[in-house]
Structure 1
Amino acid sequence: MTQHQGSSRTPDAGQPSRRIFLRGTVAGIAATAGLAATGAVVSPAAAAPGGFPDYKHLRPLLTPSQLKYNPTGEIIFPCIRGVYDRLANPLGRYYLYYAPHDAPGGICLAYGNSLEGPFTEYPANPIVSNNWQPHYKVSHVSSPHVLWNEDVKELWLYFHGENHTTRLARSRDGITFTYDKTVLTKDMLPAGTSETSYARVFRHNLPARDARYVMLFMVNNHSNHRDVGWGWSKDGRNWTFAQQPLIRHSDVGANNISGAHLLTRDNSTYVVYHTGKDTGGNMLITEVGNDFSRRNHLGLFYESSDAAPENGRAAAPSFGTDRGVPYMVYEAGERLKGSICVARG
């Protein structure tokens, strides 16, 4: 199941005001790494400069006020996965994982038959709570990222709780999970690290490191400026972490960067991530190369609109292809005040 990704300059059909944060060009992007998709390979009808699919905002998919499980009035960090050809009798073609962030959080599920929606809230949310005895009891759990692990034919859920700890749980149906282990804590990084969260894991070969999986995550320290960290693993369970950020906020003129996602295109590898609203509220892209040795900061990937529902912030993208059409599912709106939306390429 292959996905095609890209970039966008404006999400709306109208002419919202623009904040040109960074600009750059690169060959068009397509994602692989086991994401939600149909397997069709097509070229986008329109392309942004550099050949990226030109994602346009379509609509909200999930709004907190319309959800039965809504403990804090906010949701974040969508992860979309195609399950129609992986699971027996799934609730829908696509599973959309998300969570509130503030306590108590809770990993949640919605399902649907099209990436354009509608999505139906799973009635027994949360599927993972902040109290999972005997494994942990924390203030909150959040930021679900689900990887299809082809080696064992399971859905692997990476999530954080607290902000300095990333955990792994495993499932054969995408609903009922078995706890596995802690995979990342702040103590695995240099002294002074305070946060290691918002992890996404991708199938990506790094032969020189004897690794088959890559993790991207947000790292924070006493400077209180968030960067993109990374690690690598042979099995997705036991990890080695770079002791310096993969991408620093200062590299791209931002105060904070987060929500990183791995993309591949034309025999190279890229990372897309978002900035804080104070420095544009947009998504940027950096080419890191297949071996992660490059730092080619290419600029704007998706520019947020001033209009609702984005209100100057687009963040935490997840990508999928539905019947040959590329989509991006993402946070729209001010942090902890927004919705989960979809854009079409």
Structure 2
Amino acid sequence: MHEPHSGPDRRMFLRATALSGAALTFGGLATPSASAAPGGFPDYTYVRTLLTPSQLKYNPTGEIIFPTVRGVYDKLSSPLGRYYLYYAPHDAPGGICLAYGDSMEGPFTEYPDNPIVSNKWDPHYSVTHVSSPHVLWNQDAKEFWLYFHGENTTTRLARSKNGVDFTYDKVVLTTSMMPAGTSETSYARVFRYDLPSRGARYVMLFMINNTTDHRDIGWGWSADGRNWTFAQTPLVRHSDVGAVNIGGPHLLTRDGSAFVVYNKDKSSGGDMMITEVGADFSLRKHLGVFYNSRSAPPDNGRSAAPTFGTDGGVPYMVYEAGERLAGSIAVARG
């Protein structure tokens, strides 16, 4: 996933998660890892709940989803906190929201003027809802690039110098770019990842649905993060892993190979799964459960939409915990 970071200390965001033997490597620093999930990644353990809808000032629907956490202390001269946590309600009107804090374990403070992006943005769009924020630090442009959906048929891009105030850019993905019968192309995450054979420097992972009403993981590639080519067949199919639906994909890398972490719907177990796709995305090696959702709160048997980072050399996973549209944002430590 290659999120470039620099700075005087080593509390860096996860760029390309790498394990060599029992050592977890972040930006050249090795940290012992007591145990490992499939693929050699850390075995994450729930720490605490970070955000609960009922405790938020902006709470139009009583639910929030799809966190993205980014280290900003080495990119901004006067940040609100060391880490920015983006999230959103899903149901109408949705709204892209921000919280900030100085530790991956929290606490996080709600930005007072949420939402920072709403479901109406003249003259660009007026939709029932916007949701699923994924923020990429684009080192080439020295900007925060926000990918978000609204409606579920359309993924858009907005750009910001400070991570708070965004300028609309363009539509980057719609159902019309996929095979006939495609009904949803949403929940996209974008990563800095080189695919030389395709002339690409960025990879997008997203959820795709069609007339069968079974959600799969789609993917695309881009030279600049704005103009995309999309595979016309799923990267991971729900049937590959015995699920009704899969979604919330995230890219990890290790030892020169790429892996996709994603979640099953609760009726299929509610856990996060991992599939190795190889350096060129031609491999399909399903490795099993990446994170086993706890039956206790806040997971209540479902975990989804992970985002990853480190703090003081310790790996963390921030994720959507609990029933779909009735959960919270939680953090687990590796």
Decide: shared fold, TM above 0.5: yes
Distance 1:49 1:74 in 2: 29
Residue 124 (1) aligns with residue 85 (2): no
Partner AA of 2:112 in structure 1: P
The structure 1 residue matched to 2:166, chosen from 151, 174, 177, is: 177
Aligned to 1:152: 141
Dislocated runs of 4+, deviation >4 Å = 4-7, 26-31
- The question of whether the paired residues in 2 share the 8 Å contact of 1:39 and 1:324 is answered with no
Alpha-carbon shift at residue 43 of structure 1 (Å): 2.6
Whose strand proportion is higher, 1 or 2? 2
Per-residue CA shift, 1:133-153, capped at 9, x if unaligned? Answer: 000000000000000000010
- The question of whether the paired residues in 1 share the 8 Å contact of 2:82 and 2:101 is answered with yes
- The question of whether the paired residues in 1 share the 8 Å contact of 2:24 and 2:33 is answered with no
Distance 1:241 1:159 in 2: 17
Partner AA of 2:187 in structure 1: Y
Structure 2 matches for 1:240-259, cutoff 5 A?
240-259=229-248
The structure 1 residue matched to 2:308, chosen from 315, 319, 326, is: 319
The structure 2 residue matched to 1:215, chosen from 183, 204, 209, is: 204
Structure 2 matches for 1:211-290, cutoff 5 A?
211-290=200-279
Partner AA of 1:130 in structure 2: N
Gaps of 5+ in 1: 8-25, 32-37
Residue 42 (1) aligns with residue 30 (2): yes
TM-score (norm: length of structure 2): 0.93
Alpha-carbon shift at residue 45 of structure 1 (Å): 3.4
Distance 2:28 2:50 in 1: 23
Structure 2 matches for 1:1-345, cutoff 5 A?
1=5, 2-3=13-14, 5=17, 39=27, 41-48=29-36, 50=38, 51-345=40-334
TM-score (norm: length of structure 1): 0.90
Partner AA of 1:259 in structure 2: G
Distance 1:83 1:48 in 2: 28
Query: Structure 1 283/49 Cα, relative in aligned 2: closer, same or farther at 3 Å?
Result: closer
Alpha-carbon shift at residue 40 of structure 1 (Å): 6.4
Partner AA of 2:172 in structure 1: V
- The question of whether the paired residues in 2 share the 8 Å contact of 1:198 and 1:217 is answered with yes
Distance 1:309 1:215 in 2: 29
**SS at the partner of 1:42?**
strand
- The question of whether the paired residues in 2 share the 8 Å contact of 1:42 and 1:325 is answered with no
Alpha-carbon shift at residue 250 of structure 1 (Å): 0.4
Partner AA of 1:42 in structure 2: A
Aligned to 1:10: none
- Deviates further, 41-50 or 89-98: 41-50
Alpha-carbon shift at residue 48 of structure 1 (Å): 2.7
**SS at the partner of 2:176?**
helix
Distance 2:201 2:306 in 1: 22
Partner AA of 2:34 in structure 1: A
- The question of whether the paired residues in 1 share the 8 Å contact of 2:23 and 2:30 is answered with no
Aligned to 1:18: none
**SS at the partner of 2:85?**
strand
Aligned to 1:12: none
Alpha-carbon shift at residue 44 of structure 1 (Å): 3.9
- The question of whether the paired residues in 1 share the 8 Å contact of 2:134 and 2:188 is answered with yes
Query: Structure 1 264/93 Cα, relative in aligned 2: closer, same or farther at 3 Å?
Result: same
Partner AA of 1:176 in structure 2: D
Distance 1:162 1:247 in 2: 23
**SS at the partner of 1:341?**
strand
- The question of whether the paired residues in 2 share the 8 Å contact of 1:260 and 1:272 is answered with yes
Gaps of 5+ in 2: 6-12
Distance 1:330 1:29 in 2: 24
**SS at the partner of 2:54?**
helix
Which structure would you say has the larger RCO, counting Cα contacts within 8 Å and 6 or more residues apart?
1
- The question of whether the paired residues in 1 share the 8 Å contact of 2:251 and 2:259 is answered with yes
Distance 1:120 1:336 in 2: 21
**SS at the partner of 2:31?**
coil
Query: Structure 1 40/108 Cα, relative in aligned 2: closer, same or farther at 3 Å?
Result: farther
Query: Structure 1 6/335 Cα, relative in aligned 2: closer, same or farther at 3 Å?
Result: farther
